[in-house]
A and B are shown apart, each in its own frame.
Chain A
């Protein structure tokens, strides 16, 4: 039996124009105890709706939520052992920091000495001791974030729900908080369900990632699984950058497949589980592509092209290569000082090389 089961959750909205939008369409997730689970997807994918349904702010239309086997149907938000960190933090502006953090304990009837002790501990945990009597408006974004965290964690919830809590912070602060959140989750040992549209954030923090799109669960798995073996083209494109080539398996030699695209391009990949005639999509990550040395490269593991753009981003150069038929491939080229980048100057003819082991294959939709 799972810890928190989201069992074929359904939820639809009616737009003001009368159209029906499926916010959640048969989503099933088994949330494990003590894990850091991220709901990842673009805006409107249903991730925030799912979070609100878990918190109890909204009802599911169909399906169920089970906490350790017991249904949460009809349990109002204030009786669920879950707490939420809101996107805008939702700190009560008319209360001090200590009153904010003590609110849930006070409402639950915890006596003042005990309450004060636990508020003090919570403040210490987020590194804000001594801020008790300030007002939320006197705190920076990052500090408000910590107060929101402390306010939720002081209640020792079974699950902490985080609704894009880092999106309002600047980049530096966000990176610091990512690490802090992850460490915090380890030390308190509470299940975190974290919603974000930022795939880097998801990869950096999560034990597991559930990718959602158009209200449907696309894939759920460990960060590396989702990144290395995306279940479909959506995941391949949304999590990290991918170069996708779709074709049909024309030859099979031991585990080495030859795939021919509609444009007649022949590409090699090493994989089990596909037979001649299967439609497949190759997923090539930019970091697995490199510029081939002159004369190097086996048949099928190279793509000819012309450099369109080279975008210097620091340690690496993002090279955009025109590979014909209106397609552009992106590869990450290690930056070297002193003119080595002449090879990737716009206009240069290049051959892109990859190893067949680095290719991930997806069964093409309908193929």
Chain B
């Protein structure tokens, strides 16, 4: 193998790393003891998650009347949270699938944790439409089951049913894609355990992987084909989510720009969440040599692109609503910007359109602190985007007598905060029990992109 490393590109792995050193560094969080800080953060997350579970239980027991929904605003925080979480999930698949097809090697340090984030985010997302059904024990009615429950099949013309298929396919395919990649790394951890208990656990998790040539050959084929399948899948998922709105006749929802605009927004918010998590994780788990400033900068560039697409979409929406000449459409957008929810519209505009543009400055793009703060802004902005689309479009009905406002109850707030708790609890468990970086992939690039081999190479 020739030396492929470029003297112009910055190395993706810092320091002088051997194969063994990579195994050591990635296994350390799993084998070491959690420190006090971890325990405190974990306890807080678990308590918040528990509070969320309590609010969910209260909703199921009493009915969704405990939420702030009313006859005019029938979708509010629940669907906002659903779209927000699904969108966050998209970055994981983009990193692991699309960047694999484009042979972007910086993907390798971050794909494992980004995919974990995808899975946990989709779990949080799925809770909302299921809860919104009210009688959650009948959730299986969305499946095309034989009609012993009545004489009707599910309606395949409905985007809500497309969503059922899209989200379940997306979740299950992401899960197997993630796990397929984890098997060889679990084997690496298994083979270095001395305690029989740990050995047993990782032996089961690794499915008895041995790393023979034939296994690797099949592994590479499966990874490539799964990436190829996940690429259109991830684009289809948010497209279908956007069709929940776009196929309706509500002014503000009924627009053909929604699918690409939602997909760009999803990737935008997903990368923000990846950055929020990874900037903390690299520090806490001492992975600074693997998740470098170069990685952060690459993700920030994606945030500029997708953030700008989202910005253009906002302006296009405004222009088209005026240009269409449809009074309802024009009112819907005027009302968004100047009506009673103006504050949410301008929060969205500030967080999503203005703040990511700061990444044009190299200094800001390469600063961890600035990136972290802007990523939080984007997370908030993208939540407001969904809130603006859903609530401001609904709260002014066709009949002015139906006009109203939406006020969240403590249950609305509780389940939203609760899912954030669930998300962080799952991610914290992941960070101490799973190999957070795909070691077997990273070992394939250490020769061509680390500092030690940039000078001397055989």
A binds B: no
Residues of chain B whose beta carbon lies under 8 Å from any beta carbon of chain A: none
